[in-house]
Amino acid sequence: MPSRAMECRRPPSVSSVMPMWMLIGLMVCVGALSSASAERPRSHGVPVPLFVSWGGIGSEARVWAAAHMGVNLHRLPVGWPDASGKYDFTGTDAMIRALHKAGIRVILHFFNHGVPQWFWKAHPEARPQDAVGNVTEDYPSPWNPYVRAAVERDMAAILEHLKNVHLLSLVDGVEIGVGMEGQLSYLWDTYRASDPYALRAYHRYLTAIYNKDLGQLNRDWGTHYSSFDEIRPPAQWQDTLECRAFQEFYKQSLLDAAIAYSAVVRRYFRPRIWYWMAHFIRYPERHYAARYPVEYVRRLKALGIADVVQTSSVPGWETKDEIRRLKAIGVRVVGEISITPSPQEQREDAVTAKGLGCDGFFVGTLENLFSADGVPTPAGEETARLIAAWRAGRGL
């Protein structure tokens, strides 16, 4: 099953509740984390497994409970401004401080795909569109210039704020949302590149790779187009030169957006951890979703902007060899399925991720694992057991 859609919401404020039993238990945990490198903490020369949470926090007690459990990275989503362009960073600032204080590394998750309704009203043409005109609001079209401008302006505003309040030094890494659910991906049921800006970009791409030689394109494809502007994306995947050309354009478009947004980050600081969502998926859906993690990560790593990759640990979507190829690039791999798993789902997810050879697993939201005062839920108790077993090298 696919990763559950992430709900765009403003993170709640952080309270100052912290039970004493958590503080005592954390003295050893925090000391170990603070003495390790940010990117690849090691214990006796072996990289420490990654146990990653996401979302809002709700209370400081949850942060300390998570650190005591062994959670060592938290992906903190920061979204768009309101319709008037105003931000409320109160909760975000407090959560960064709380996570850093507890020894959990902070991954600033730019929630670029969580487009608010006011943006869709202003730019309805920014919805990705398929060949018959169906649109989706799951993410904005990467070819739309208004989308690119809005996302880059939003990221710059967030980073400028954190710089001004001296919190940027507490941020260990960044996660840049691009496509569907923030992944380097489109939806997987059909191609979505038929909005006007997408078509224009596709025509420019074909004109460039064929050096304006339409005749050569027609000979290669076995077609009879009278102009580049006449060409439309294929309706479905077939193993033809035409489909392969479109597929390369489709993949490159996501990569271009990821690189452009990364450039915004680099104007402000050099993250110690570049974190990406790059899921696998089975065929034939992989063609429509353009989910090719190894290709994306290899390119991003060559640019110095890839350290950790979170990918789907779904049976049938990927193999041990695919995870191995990702790790061979020089990144660490976190397996993920559920955002709010039940105890049984968490156990199944962790077992699958470990069996595939991942370096850790995504534990979901802290709200699902702890009550507001830091008491573990049944899912939290099972997560604590799984983390302890994984770290000790025992079976899950």
- pLDDT-derived band at 202 (thresholds 50, 70, 90) equals very high
Lowest average pLDDT, out of 66-75, 115-124, 162-171, goes to 115-124
Q: Are 249 and 288 in contact (CB under 8 A)?
A: no
Tokens of 300: 């991003």
Closest Cα partner for 333 from 349, 317, 354, 315? 354
- pLDDT-derived band at 318 (thresholds 50, 70, 90) equals confident
Determine the distance from the C-alpha atom of residue 98 to the mean position of all C-alpha atoms in its chain, rounded to a whole number. Answer: 22
Residue 42, pLDDT score: 53
E-only strand ranges, the chain: 42-43, 46-47, 50-54, 73-78, 105-110, 173-176, 273-277, 308-312, 332-336, 360-365
pLDDT digits (tens, 9 = 90+) for 228-271: 999 999 989 999 999 999 999 999 999 999 999 999 999 999 99
* pTM for this prediction: 0.87
Q: Are 324 and 221 in contact (CB under 8 A)?
A: no
Q: How far apart are CA 320 and CA 355, in angstroms?
A: 8
- pLDDT-derived band at 284 (thresholds 50, 70, 90) equals confident
Residue 201, pLDDT score: 97
Q: How would you class 296 by CB atoms within 10 Å of its CB: exposed for 0-12, middle for 13-18, buried for 19 or more?
A: buried
Does position 393 have pLDDT exceeding 60, yes or no?
yes
Does position 28 have pLDDT exceeding 90, yes or no?
no
Q: How far apart are CA 338 and CA 297, in angstroms?
A: 22
Q: How far apart are CA 341 and CA 363, in angstroms?
A: 8
Does position 22 have pLDDT exceeding 60, yes or no?
no
Task: State the virtual CA torsion across 181, 182, 186, 192 in degrees, nearest 10.
Answer: 90
Residue 140, pLDDT score: 93
Average pLDDT over residues 355-360: 96
pLDDT digits (tens, 9 = 90+) for 325-341: 999 999 999 999 899 99
Residue 167, pLDDT score: 98
Lowest average pLDDT, out of 27-36, 64-73, 97-106, goes to 27-36
- pLDDT-derived band at 19 (thresholds 50, 70, 90) equals very low
Does position 163 have pLDDT exceeding 60, yes or no?
yes
CA angle 93, 96, 101 (to 5 degrees): 125
Residue 195, pLDDT score: 94
Average pLDDT over residues 103-121: 94
pLDDT digits (tens, 9 = 90+) for 55-101: 989 899 999 999 999 999 999 999 899 999 999 999 999 999 999 99
H or E segment at 168? none
Task: Please provide residue 27's backbone torsions phi and psi, each rounded to the nearest 5 degrees.
Answer: -60, -40
pLDDT digits (tens, 9 = 90+) for 129-150: 999 999 998 899 999 999 999 9
pLDDT digits (tens, 9 = 90+) for 168-192: 999 999 999 999 999 999 999 999 9
- pLDDT-derived band at 46 (thresholds 50, 70, 90) equals low
Residue bearing the bigger pLDDT, 39 or 13? 39
What is the set of domains in the chain, with CATH numbers? 20-194+232-392 (3.20.20.80)
E-only strand ranges, 112-194: 173-176
- pLDDT-derived band at 31 (thresholds 50, 70, 90) equals very low
Average pLDDT, the chain: 89
Does position 10 have pLDDT exceeding 80, yes or no?
no
Helices 196-209 and 241-266 pack at an angle, to 10 degrees, of 110
Select the highest-mean-pLDDT range: 15-29, 119-133, 217-231, 314-328: 217-231
